[in-house]
Amino acid sequence: MTDESPGSPSPVLPDACDDATVRRAFACADRSALVDLPHALASFELYAIDRWVERYAAAHAGAIWDSLGLPTGELDLGAAELARRAGVADGRWPMFDALVRQLRARGLCDATVCDPVMDPLDRILRVRAAPELAPLRMRAAEVEVGPTRALMDHVAVGYADVVRGRTTGAQLLGDRVALALWHDYFAPTNPGYHAANVLAAELARRVLPAEGALRALELGAGAGSGTIALLAAFADRDVDLVATDRSAALLDLARERVAATPKVARVALRRLDFDREFPPDLGTFDLVFAANALHAARELTGALAAVRALLAPSGVLVLAEAVRLGPTDELPQALVFALAPEFARSPRAAPPHRHGFLARDEWRAALGAAGYAPPVELPDPVALAGSGLEFRLSAMAARPL
């Protein structure tokens, strides 16, 4: 991304993306909120992966902005005018707005003029120069971010064509190359993604009785990594699990992975879309488990209310999601997921946030509106506040009122 205005301010970015800088930040943070989490969730390695992915998303966002032929520097333009210059097609505004949110969250778009409470079409934008893709010298993260990096690279190449209507997000995210990338991304060996599965399974273990048989339903099982985490958390329990997803291709991957687990005989894989009415033969469950799933609901409150009806009298919904840290924050993975059809909601939609990823308070509000009591949360949000940690994962366990 080239800055055409020599006098423009430097980008507001984290310090150089290297091990020493990130390790110092991690060492200086108050990590007491993470002490009771599984080690992998409280490790420097996961923290380093998150910082690396943030930087990589920012660099790609800048490159995409360049590929759209848009200006940078001190020239302030309305978002609608920038969209016109970029050739944003009808119905593709949410993808363009997701790009703007990435720039703003990484300090590359002036936060004063990118007022988060304004209608996005009325905002005035001042976009600055983005960081180069290199150097990204984080040895602790480089090996572990491979699947995320490959997926971001694939999406960045086609992002401008999606925004301009030359192809669709579904085509870009579902082509032959992308399907192979999703296989690796949705894997237990991808720690940045799998962390939410582990967090949800740990919370489910804590809130459910320690003994007795357990009937569980998994929503959005995808390629089966959440299924594996859940079975591992309840390795000493008699679990009858129905794992579901709307994608037949992902369920085929899940079938392969689950086949290697000791409890494969107690897992039924079933195609199911939680945006549609649940079939009456499902019955009720002690646990409904949804890791990295419900952010994709077209109408979140309605989906949560439908799930509530599936819970047995003492049943609990356990969800885990990547969460935004505030109104101007955006998750780096949103650069990819904003192209998914279920994220392409109206730019004038009321909360929840139209691109699917919510803040913790928005999840609490959605659960309350759907008839749930205040949730148990992991990690404790009160302990996280003021810790200096940018921990963008939350698991919540909620029971009906």
In this structure, the number of other CB atoms found within 10 A of the CB of residue 36 comes to: 13
In this structure, the number of other CB atoms found within 10 A of the CB of residue 368 comes to: 16
* Domain ranges across the chain: 19-185, 192-323+358-398
Rounded to an integer, what distance in angstroms lies between the CA atom of residue 47 and that of residue 388?
A: 12
pLDDT at 234 over 90: yes
Place of tokens 């032959």: 176
Each residue's pLDDT tens digit, 212-224: 899 999 999 999 9
Each residue's pLDDT tens digit, 64-113: 988 888 877 655 667 778 888 899 998 888 888 888 888 878 777 664 44
Rounded to an integer, what distance in angstroms lies between the CA atom of residue 192 and that of residue 355?
A: 20
| Range 200-215 average pLDDT | 94
**pLDDT of res. 353:** 41
pLDDT at 323 over 90: yes
**pLDDT of res. 137:** 52
Burial class (CB in 10 A: 0-12, 13-18, 19+), 244: buried
| Range 235-247 average pLDDT | 93
pLDDT at 7 over 70: no
In this structure, the number of other CB atoms found within 10 A of the CB of residue 362 comes to: 16
Q: Mean pLDDT for the chain?
A: 83
Identify which has the larger pLDDT, 352 or 83: 83
| Reported CATH class of domain 192-323+358-398 | alpha beta
Under 8 Å CB-to-CB from 40, ≥6 apart: which residues? 46, 191, 195, 198
